[in-house]
Structure 1
Amino acid sequence: MAKAKSPPGRRSQPAQPPIVGNAVASEAAAPKKRTSIPQFVGQVRAEARKIVWPSRKETWITSVMVLIMVLIAAIFFFVVDAGLTVASGFILAIGQ
């Protein structure tokens, strides 16, 4: 089997033993290189170009599905609440 190559400029680091109990790693993580503001804005714009917005039809269908699920949940909780009200009334009537 072929050996997987690591990206150029990066060396594989030896595996560190797992931290057990309350032990703390002796070496602090090296701070990452800071990104300048223009680089950050460029990265944000590049990621924003990848966004795929839903169509009007997809938005409408999803909204209707959410409305249906809310109605089902409302009916379910109404029935459970009514049942618990009747049950608690029955139990409290026994004690009188």
Structure 2
Amino acid sequence: MAKAKTPGGRRMTGTKVAPAGQTVTVDAPVVKKPRPTIPQFFSQVRAEGRKIVWPSRKETWITSVMVFIMVVIAAIFFAIVDGGLTVASKFILALGQ
């Protein structure tokens, strides 16, 4: 928790006093959870692993094809932009000669 600032921008040090009529709340101390033993840890990992929903072969195939198509479209787009910038920069540099 950061220290409160005074109106002048300096940080207050020492005790903090609440204005009259206001309630001061104090955060409860954080209680650490006990660490699981090694067998408990691995049983929890296995339990979480069983919750995973894996995609089917069809979903994986469709997603892979979609990614490939997007990569091809991006490559074509950037090739066109690169070619256009190359032509434009050569034209601008040729004006100075």
> If the length of structure 2 is used for normalisation, what is the TM-score?
0.68
Higher relative contact order (CA 8 A, sep 6+): 2
Residue of structure 2 in register with 1:81 after alignment:
82
Identity of aligned residues (%): 70
Where structure 1 has 5 or more consecutive residues not aligned to the other structure, the ranges are: 1-17
| One-letter code aligned to 2:2 | I
Secondary structure at 1:60 match in 2: helix
Aligned match of 2:2 in 6, 13, 19? 19
Cα drift, residue 91 of structure 1: 0.5
Task: Point out where structure 2 has 5 or more consecutive residues left out of the alignment.
Answer: 5-10, 12-28
Corresponding residue SS for 1:44? helix
Rg larger in structure: 2
Q: CA deviation at 1:30?
A: 4.9
Structure 1 residues 31, 61: CA separation in 2 closer, same or farther (over 3 Å shift)? same
C-alpha distance in 2, partners of 1:77/1:29?
53
Q: Distance in 1 between matches of 2:50 and 2:37?
A: 20
Provide the TM-score with structure 1 as the length reference.
Answer: 0.69
Instruction: Quote how far apart the aligned CAs of 1:92 are.
Output: 0.3
Aligned-residue CA RMSD (Å): 2.7
* Number of the residue aligned with 1:38: 39
* Separation (CA, whole Å) in 1 of partners of 2:93 and 2:46: 64
Q: Distance in 2 between matches of 1:20 and 1:73?
A: 50
Distance 1:87 1:61 in 2: 39
Query: Matches of residues 54-65 of structure 1 in structure 2 within 5 Å?
Result: 54-65=55-66
Q: Which amino acid aligns with 1:44?
A: V
Per the TM alignment, residue 29 of structure 1 is displaced from its structure 2 partner at its CA by 5.3
